[in-house]
Amino acid sequence: MTTVASIWAQDKNGVLGTGTSMMWHVPADFAHFKASTLGCPIIMGRRSFEALGTPLPGRTNIVITRSHLYEADGIDLVYSIEAALKHAQDKAEADEAPYIWITGGAHLYAQTMDLVDELVVTDLDLDIEASNPDTPLVHAPAIDPTVWAVDPQRSDSEWNDKSGDARWKVTTYVRR
């Protein structure tokens, strides 16, 4: 069975961005995201897709929307999380992909916390709220330590060197 995982980057307070954009530029984390998700189906909400502006190459881009009138080129549209996961599983099996990735946004991360097997979280050494006090921000879901355990083999024990705006480190969580 293919592993279903969420992948996101957050600041030290769990900020993901504004809901339509990230508020940082960390090229090394972008490279990590690309290396992790390439060749695998990715599932995202419509607003996250619109923030990207274009489908991510080398991946099946599955976009969840409630609007049956929504159209966009280069994506597979579905209307529920269940339909997205079924479609992604079919694609992953056909392509022999090891993962199905949930790539955002905040609502989708929260709605799928009970459905995913792993969380791959990049922590950024930034405090977005302090530098943008009047900007509405969205946050990552809380990671319950009674449900999730850190996988030390796939997690950084120290901060990686600054890349663009911030130092960064990846933590991989697996279900207990």
Q: Provide the CATH number for the domain around residue 68.
A: 3.40.430.10
Alpha helix ranges (H) inside 96-169: 106-112, 128-131
Question: Angle CA(140)–CA(42)–CA(155) in degrees, nearest 5?
Answer: 55
In eight-state DSSP terms, residue 156 is -
pLDDT tens, 42-99?
Answer: 999 999 999 999 999 999 999 999 999 999 999 999 999 999 999 999 999 999 999 9
| Domain total of the chain | 1
pLDDT tens, 88-129?
Answer: 999 999 999 999 999 999 999 999 999 999 999 999 999 998
Cβ proximity of 128 and 24 under 8 Å: yes
List the structure tokens of 124. 């950024």
Q: Which residues of 78-115 are buried (b: 16+ CB within 10 A; e: fewer)?
A: beebeebbebbbebbeeeebebbbbbbbbebbeebbee
**Which pTM was predicted?**
0.96
Find the domain containing 85 and state its range.
Answer: 3-175
Token look-up 């339509």 returns 20
